[in-house]
Amino acid sequence: MTLNVMNHHDRIEACIANEAVDRTAVALWRHFPVDDQSPASLAEATIDFQRAYDFDLVKVTPASSFCIKDWGAKDEWHGASEGTREYTRRVIQHPADWEQLTILDPTKGYLAAQLDCLRMIIGELGQEVPVIQTVFNPLAQAKNLVGAENLSIHLRRNPQELKIGLQVIAESIQRFIEAVRQMGAAGIFYAVQHAQYSLFSEKEYEDFGRSFDLQALEPAQEFKFNMLHLHGVQVMFDHFLDYPVAIINWHDRETPPSLAEAKKKFSGALCGGLRRQETMVLGTPEQIKAEAEDAFQQSGGQGLILGTGCVMPTIVPRGNIIAARKSVEK
């Protein structure tokens, strides 16, 4: 049976429900260095990218510092191929500094600027395609405030001070997500970076990650298209199956579980299938098509959003992006 052509919203919704779709959904996203330093230029870059490739979902990807600059963090663009920026000023210098953080107002400063960007994008694309806003979880924001090398030290040596900071961050995220919802976004892209066995134990993530995640995500439960991103390798995949998300994205080509294994665990949609460096940057269109076909087979043709395991490098050739987009067309 041939299905009628679906629009992007209906295709993603059917994908989440593991229902039949007219074609496999596809979504790729990237950073826009330099453009991400003003709301208008990031909005324009995001809209142009979507107009060029017509993906089924738009992820708004600001620099990771957008959510902590109002606490005093600073960063610079040093040319990383992922489009990420380097931190030049950490806010937390001593454990006692966690107690000095104050809850951020999303109507002011850099958070307000990001909401302006989101409003512009939704105003242009929101009727055509689901738009989701990136939100970094409390531990990820804490890492950027104190530095990766110091986060685990504070967690193990000064747990109470860190938890005071995580509580403030979680409440700030709640307020930001509520504002995102008022903008008319379809959901959030919730980025988790520390649920890796090489970084923390399950008990440590339970105490310092999960409890604050669930608090931060309370206002996100009303969204239909929330996506969870589990960053890194050897991720604690099974510990997130009850989070209020409809889509899970992780480095499925680099770490367990595979798409086929994850499909047995999670009832929503899975986003992945393409290696971002070996295939999208260095591969050929033919290799991209073959890897996409393998992803289609693993998913059984339903519940898949073809994409990369994380943000696509800025150096991916245009021809390879087109090849990924065309791979879902019959």
Please tell me the predicted confidence (pLDDT) of residue 2.
Answer: 65
- What count of Cα atoms within 13 Å lies in the side-chain half-sphere of residue 302? 12
Give the per-residue SS3 of the chain. CCCCCCCHHHHHHHHHCCCCCCCCEECCCECCCCHHHCHHHHHHHHHHHHHHHCCCCEEECCCHHHHCHHHCCEEECCCCCCCCCEEEECCCCCHHHHHHCCCCCCCCHHHHHHHHHHHHHHHHHCCCCCEEEEEECHHHHHHHHHCHHHHHHHHHHCHHHHHHHHHHHHHHHHHHHHHHHHHCCCEEEEEECCCECCCCCHHHHHHHHHHHHHHHCHHHHHCCCCEEEECCCCECHHHHCCCCCCEEEECCCCCCCCHHHHHHHCCCEEEEEECHHHHHHCCCHHHHHHHHHHHHHHHCCCCEEEEECCCECCCCCHHHHHHHHHCCCC
Spatial CA neighbour of 163 closest among 142, 191, 134, 137: 142
Question: Is pLDDT of 1 > 60?
Answer: no
Please tell me the predicted confidence (pLDDT) of residue 323.
Answer: 98
- Mean model confidence pLDDT for the chain: 97
Please tell me the predicted confidence (pLDDT) of residue 266.
Answer: 98
Please tell me the predicted confidence (pLDDT) of residue 230.
Answer: 98
Please tell me the predicted confidence (pLDDT) of residue 206.
Answer: 98
pLDDT tens digit string along 154-196?
999 999 999 999 999 999 999 999 999 999 999 999 999 999 9
Which whole number is the average pLDDT over 119-132? 98
For residues 197 and 236, the answer to whether their CB atoms sit within 8 Å is: yes
Task: Say what percent of the chain tops pLDDT 90.
Answer: 98
Domains of the chain from N-terminus onward = 23-266 (3.20.20.210)
- What count of Cα atoms within 13 Å lies in the side-chain half-sphere of residue 279? 22
CA angle centred on 101, ends 114 and 80, rounded to 5°? 50
pTM above 0.95, yes or no: yes
CA distance linking residue 13 with residue 19, whole number of Å: 9
pLDDT tens digit string along 24-52?
999 999 999 999 999 999 999 999 999 99
CA distance linking residue 112 with residue 177, whole number of Å: 12
